[in-house]
A and B are shown apart, each in its own frame.
Chain A
């Protein structure tokens, strides 16, 4: 099988507090069937054999469903192939001799922990601020007791496809978390179970989003283009509607 040789320029940063820099590595014998993370594994093997510090990056499932992996590859979050996580990006999408720059998500709300690993706990705090529903304790209710229109269920499912990887933030010129928050708010607000907290949820989540230092949405749609789950920007418009609605209700009730 034909193999490729690539020049990698990888962001190396020992810790949050230290400065980082791009370091060049040559990766040879790269199989087109390797994933991008497997490529980094091979590079790391070489580094470890030489007694050097391997490149730190996040990964877990390696099948595109957990949202752990994430890095900017050749200037695009998760790399040049759309609807694909870095772990599902295969080397056949690159050419022999390519120079590939690999950088961590860049956002002040996502500080670099080490190399390509960033701290995405800001997303957890947004989620904790309102991304939940209250459920009664006690016996499980009958499965069909609460009727949900098929369209709503499908739309909520589309929003729930978000794996929280953070590519939307990474790709946005404002480092906005609007697509993430929009997906989470939409998912719950469409469901009858999400109604009691509907206003409070969107107000709290947006407030937390701002407190974390994410930027505003400029409606450019880079986020949708890089989203591995192809979450539509229409969720951001839903977020705006929900936020306007909740704000108006708060204003008129005080």
Chain B
């Protein structure tokens, strides 16, 4: 047991925890986006899909799992950040990025900031949608589509989501490639580039939904 604790508490163990939880949450986001896009194309299918999810008792296990991933990612991320902060008490007067072989970016330099943002975003997101107004679509199916369309008539909420998804894309810009490296997959520029492209596509995909609903008034 102490060997397990020793591994998890080591800086490499923490990076592994952060990478695995991050990648699993990323996979969840892929399915989340795929389902969300149904809002734009087929409201009925969207409602049925969400009904299938929330009426399945396994949803509680899935939710607990997601919460565990979120917390694990948060704790390991903060632990890594803190250990890095304490390793250099006196900073450089003149400090520049090296360029060249380095892939340091504004995204990689702000992971703690973009990550912390989701401590605010995720609870609000769940509050507004999961615990938002319950509309009945008939046959005991929740009309989640109506709620989504109503919520995204508010320009402030749309702006919040667009910014939120930009932050997500920013986090994943560094996060996807970095996670693979933490798990020991040798750095390859192509993997990094693929990670960045996927980050842009995922964030863009999520952003499209509130924007389309807002500008079409939901009447598509």
A residues with a Cβ closer than 8 A to B are 9, 11, 22, 72, 74-77, 82, 101, 103, 106-109, 171, 173-176, 206-207, 210, 213-222, 224-226, 230, 232-234, 236-241, 243-244, 247, 250-251, 254
A75–B88 contact, CB under 8 A? no
Quick one: closest B residue to A177, CB to CB?
B87
List, in ascending order, chain A residues with CB within 8 A of B186's CB. 234, 237-238
**Which of chain A's residues have a CB closer than 8 A to the CB of B120?**
none
Min CB gap B1→A, angstroms: 8
Q: Are B87 and A107 in contact, with the CB atoms below 8 A?
A: yes
Q: Kindly state whether residue B185 has any CB partner on chain A within 8 Å.
A: yes
Which residue of chain A is the closest to B96 with respect to CB atoms? A75
Evaluate contact between B181 and A106: CB separation under 8 angstroms. Answer: no
Residues 1-22 of B at the A interface (beta carbon under 8 Å): 2-4, 6-7, 10-16
Given known contacts A221-B103, A237-B186, is B98 in contact with A108 (CB within 8 Å)?
no
In the complex the two chains form, what is the Cα distance from A250 to B3 in whole Å?
7
Tell me the smallest distance from the CB of B92 to a CB of chain A, in Å: 6
Is A243 within 8 A of B10, CB to CB? yes
Does B219 have its Cβ within 8 Å of any Cβ on chain A? Answer: no
Does any Cβ of A come within 8 Å of B97's Cβ? yes
- Residues in A neighbouring B3, C-beta threshold 8 A: 247, 250-251, 254
Instruction: Please encode chain B, from 62 to 95, with 1 for each CB lying within 8 Å of some chain A CB and 0 for all others.
Output: 0000000000000000001001111111111111
Please classify how large the interface on chain B is, using the bins under 10, 10 to 19, 20 to 34, 35 or more.
Answer: 35 or more
Q: Which of B34-42, B104-112, B128-136, B156-164 contacts A (4 or more CB under 8 A)?
A: B104-112
Residues of chain B lying within 8 A (CB to CB) of residue A238: 184, 186
19 A-B interface contacts by CB (under 8 A): A22-B93, A82-B98, A107-B88, A171-B98, A173-B88, A174-B84, A222-B97, A225-B98, A225-B101, A226-B98, A233-B181, A238-B184, A238-B186, A240-B181, A243-B12, A244-B12, A247-B7, A251-B3, A251-B7
The prevalent SS among residues of A at the interface is mixed
> Could you tell me if B93 and A108 are in contact, using CB atoms closer than 8 angstroms?
no
B104 touches A220 (CB 8 A): yes
> Is A216 within 8 A of B181, CB to CB?
no
Which residue in A11, A72, A174, A240 is a CB contact (below 8 Å) of B83?
A174
Question: A101 is contacted by which of B80, B93, B102 (Cβ under 8 Å)?
Answer: B93
> With the chains together, A225 CA to B201 CA distance in Å?
29
The reply to whether A218 and B178 form a contact with Cβ atoms under 8 Å apart is yes
Q: Are B98 and A244 in contact, CB atoms less than 8 angstroms apart?
A: no
Q: A74-B96, A222-B102, A247-B3 are in contact. Are A108 and B87 (CB under 8 A)?
A: yes
Given contacts A225-B102, A238-B184, 16 further A-B contacts (CB under 8 A): A11-B93, A72-B92, A75-B92, A103-B94, A107-B88, A174-B88, A176-B84, A216-B15, A217-B182, A218-B108, A220-B109, A225-B101, A233-B181, A238-B186, A240-B182, A247-B10
B residues near A (Cβ < 8 Å) are 2-4, 6-7, 10-16, 80, 83-104, 108-109, 111, 174, 177-178, 181-187
Write out the residue numbers on chain A whose beta carbons fall within 8 Å of the beta carbon of B4.
Answer: 251
Pairwise interchain contact A234-B187, C-beta atoms closer than 8 A? yes
Contact of B109 among A173, A219, A240 (CB under 8 A): A173
Q: Decide: A222 and B104 in contact? CB cutoff 8 A.
A: yes
- Chain A neighbourhood of B92, CB < 8 A: 72, 75, 103, 106
- The distance in angstroms between the C-alpha atoms of A201 and B78, with both chains bound, is 28
Q: Which of B11, B96, B97, B178 contacts A215 (CB 8 A)?
A: B11
Question: Known: A215-B84, A218-B84, A219-B181. Is A225-B99 also a contact (CB below 8 A)?
Answer: yes
A238 to B185, CA, bound (A): 8
CB distance from A61 to the nearest CB of B (A): 23
Q: How far is the CA of A186 from the CA of B141 in the complex (A)?
A: 58
Q: How far is the CA of A210 from the CA of B13 in the complex (A)?
A: 12
Residues from chain B with Cβ under 8 Å of A106 in the complex = 88, 90-92
